[in-house]
Structure 1
Amino acid sequence: MTKFDEVINRRNTKSVKWDLTEKLFKEKDVLPMWVADMDFATPQAVQDAISKRASHGIYGYTFTDESVHEAIQSWLARRHQWEIDSKWITFSPGVVPSLHTIIEAVTQPEDRILIQTPVYPPFFDVIKKHQRTIVENPLQYNNYRYEIDFDDFEQQLKNGIKAFILCNPHNPVGRVWTKDELQRMAELCLQNNTMIISDEIHADLIYQGHTHIPIASLGDQISEQTITCLAPSKTFNLAGLQASYIVTPSEHRKKQIDDQFTKQGMKMLNTFAITAMEAAYSDGEAWLDDLLTVLQSHKAYVKDMLETHTSIRVVEPEGTYLLWLDCRNLELSQEQLKHFMQQEAKVGLNDGASFGSLGTGFMRMNIACPRPLLEEGINRLIQATQK
């Protein structure tokens, strides 16, 4: 048995995924396969670093020193061939807080912000809650694959877009945008003076045959136009420690973002976030490579089982541990689909409609769990559909 096969009981740990299941899905025996954290223990090196720091017994104010910056810089250079200056880094408790702060810092009320739907639900919130205007560039769905509608993308930019929030790898559809796609989007943004805010939190979770390219790495002009949000949280299952960072090459925009964080009173990470981030980036690489092998196998298993035994189709991801399930052949309304998953299949999935109107008829599944749990969930789905 490998470290990824062990089923660890997460109940009674204040786990959002496990301890809120009954409240959210109105059923006690629903198997949670929704929120994007993993049911795998974080790398041993991270556990050891946290244990060592915890044993010290004093958890006073803690700063990020050069060794933390160097761990980040080395990671981005090794894994993504992106050389960054440590002066570009701003620390944040999470990518969603970062997006809220960036929108407040570099845009104005009523500014038009572009997103590519269906997309991660907080993208809608960070625009609406700050009285900015949502503009959608709907992704084109053909033959169980999503593409960018570049004609529409260009037209929207010409109509005046202050900022474009890019999701790469894309959550929930799993696309890892190619260099050509990224270059084309970036050049259009440059031509129309549109800022790029790039959420790359899933950057490390890439399947064989695909490569994550940070959009800011595509040249100096693009770099200056781009603000990138990153974190070790999805990669190493650290979400509860609240450790993330923003990379902003533009000196002017970085000052705007830093000033906005100061206004909010957010100036530092917590002690264990710093400890975990440095340990993960310094000593977690072999663990990640093993994880990707497991996820590759899980993805193939789910696709084969669902497409052999049900009419549900998997939009095969190129990155992330999230599967976008096309359930339209079940011929259910969205409310019926949610009821079917919760009450009959007894699996807790994300409602596709929460990702925008284009998510109607879809559900999102998290496959980052030990194989026994994954098989249990898939068998529940198959049995329910065959009934």
Structure 2
Amino acid sequence: MKNTRHDFQNVIDRKGTNCVKWDFFNDDLPMWVADMDFRVAPAIEKAITNRANHPVYGYTIVPDELFDAYINWWDRRYDLKLSREDMAYSIGVMPSISSMIRCLTDEGDKILIQSPVYHVFYYVIEDNNRKVLENELIYKNGEYRIDFDDLDEKLSEVGMMILCNPHNPIGKIWSESDLARIEELCRKHDVILISDEIHCDLTDPGVKYNPFIPEENVVRCLSPSKSFNVAGFQSSIIHTTNSELLERIKTQMHIDNSDSCNVFAASAVIAAYDESEEWLDELREVLFENKGIVRDYLASELPIIRLVECDATYLLWLDCSDLNVSSKVLSEFLRTNQGLFLSAGIDFGENGDGFLRMNIACPQKLLRDGLGRLKAGITALNIIKGSF
């Protein structure tokens, strides 16, 4: 276990806090929804406490300092220059995408996504009376890649593509050449490309994230919510160098009432980006170590389950296809038999069946408990005969 300045090993009891992860389903050990069981960075906690000490919590404007925090972060961290005039505030990435679907496409239109992918992409498309068109990722020898021939063909049928980078649930950072090819094909077919980059800061130590270099047909969705575990403050931005697109989106977000700022959001974002970089880098080390624990445990105790190697996010994609049982059945059995909640792969698309998604952003005590429950559950299901 690595030594860190900050506490990533103390188990914090989150039950009874109206917590989606721990209270919504009341499972013994939830390792599904994408938030972390770590205490936030001290600077964020201090900033929120300071704001809470002021006894009035009224309507709040979005201060320039919030946009400056994004600009400085992307310049310092990724050597990418953002301009204030190219940004707009939103209460979250998915509300932003929902607004963009409404103002940039028509009902009945097809929108392309790359499955297996974040399940809310399906909901936000279908709930807005649009149709999902899937460019299924190719899985071979434990790795995923893009089927560019299929992508080229299907982009001719849509006006919008939603990209996930790093990709949830497989944890893959798309290469610069992949991104360039995607953008080239979108431009060829006159497709607006929405890039969800919410997990971008959560790379393995020493691994470079490849952001989209601003292009006229690209809208990027950015937020510190995953990186710094501040999703409850509901804060994000969109970024595009296309001023016409930006104005249309801002108008729709205003109509949707998704452009307002809650009283704590700015304090959290500014403290995260301006004062918590060291905490984030320690977190990345912890998550990398946790991933190694999972890899080693599966190899020695559960070799029938394979870890799909990844280089970003705290979400691991587990290949359970050799168990010959649907991911939904397996996930439900683990919950009822062991109190362990892992996401069923089929929730991320039909080609995700046979996989489970595991959230490893937790103290090692909880992680090892989860791995033990996973093994016990599979043993109880009597799928692996004579292996233990």
1:113 and 2:106 aligned: no
Cα offset for 1:21?
Answer: 2.7
**Deviation digits for residues 315-368 of structure 1 (CA, Å, limit 9, x no counterpart):** 122110000111111222334312332123431111111111011111110000
The equivalent residue for 1:323 is 316
- Contact 1:79 1:204 (C-alpha < 8 Å) held by counterparts: no
Cα offset for 1:87?
Answer: 1.2
- Contact 2:111 2:131 (C-alpha < 8 Å) held by counterparts: yes
Of 249, 261, 272, the residue aligned with 1:257 is: 249
The equivalent residue for 1:285 is 277
Q: Secondary structure at the match of 1:141?
A: strand
- Contact 2:110 2:131 (C-alpha < 8 Å) held by counterparts: yes
- Of the structure 1 ranges 202-211 and 233-242, higher mean CA displacement relative to structure 2 is found in 202-211
Structure 1: segments with no counterpart, 5+ residues: 23-27
**Whole-angstrom CA distance in 1 between matches of 2:356 and 2:236:** 27
**Whole-angstrom CA distance in 1 between matches of 2:65 and 2:361:** 30
The equivalent residue for 1:296 is 288
Q: Secondary structure at the match of 1:165?
A: strand
Percent identity (aligned): 42
**Whole-angstrom CA distance in 2 between matches of 1:5 and 1:46:** 19
- Of the structure 1 ranges 339-348 and 44-53, higher mean CA displacement relative to structure 2 is found in 339-348
Structure 2: segments with no counterpart, 5+ residues: 381-388
The amino acid across from 1:378 in the alignment is L
- Contact 1:166 1:196 (C-alpha < 8 Å) held by counterparts: yes
The equivalent residue for 1:72 is 70
Cα offset for 1:58?
Answer: 1.5
Of 15, 19, 29, the residue aligned with 1:15 is: 19
The amino acid across from 2:21 in the alignment is K
The amino acid across from 1:36 in the alignment is A
Q: 1:92 to 1:124 in 2, by over 3 A?
A: same
The amino acid across from 1:6 in the alignment is N
What is the TM-score when the length of structure 1 is the normalising length? 0.94
1:192 and 2:184 aligned: no
Structural mapping, 1:1-387, within 5 Å:
3-22=7-26, 30-157=28-155, 159-208=156-205, 210-215=207-212, 217=213, 223-310=215-302, 311-387=304-380
The amino acid across from 2:266 in the alignment is I
- Of the structure 1 ranges 272-281 and 341-350, higher mean CA displacement relative to structure 2 is found in 341-350
The amino acid across from 1:7 in the alignment is V
Q: 1:148 to 1:267 in 2, by over 3 A?
A: closer
Cα offset for 1:82?
Answer: 1.5
- Of the structure 1 ranges 199-208 and 128-137, higher mean CA displacement relative to structure 2 is found in 128-137
The amino acid across from 2:344 in the alignment is D
| C-alpha RMSD of the superposition | 1.4
- Contact 1:313 1:325 (C-alpha < 8 Å) held by counterparts: yes
Q: How many residues align?
A: 375
- Contact 1:105 1:260 (C-alpha < 8 Å) held by counterparts: yes
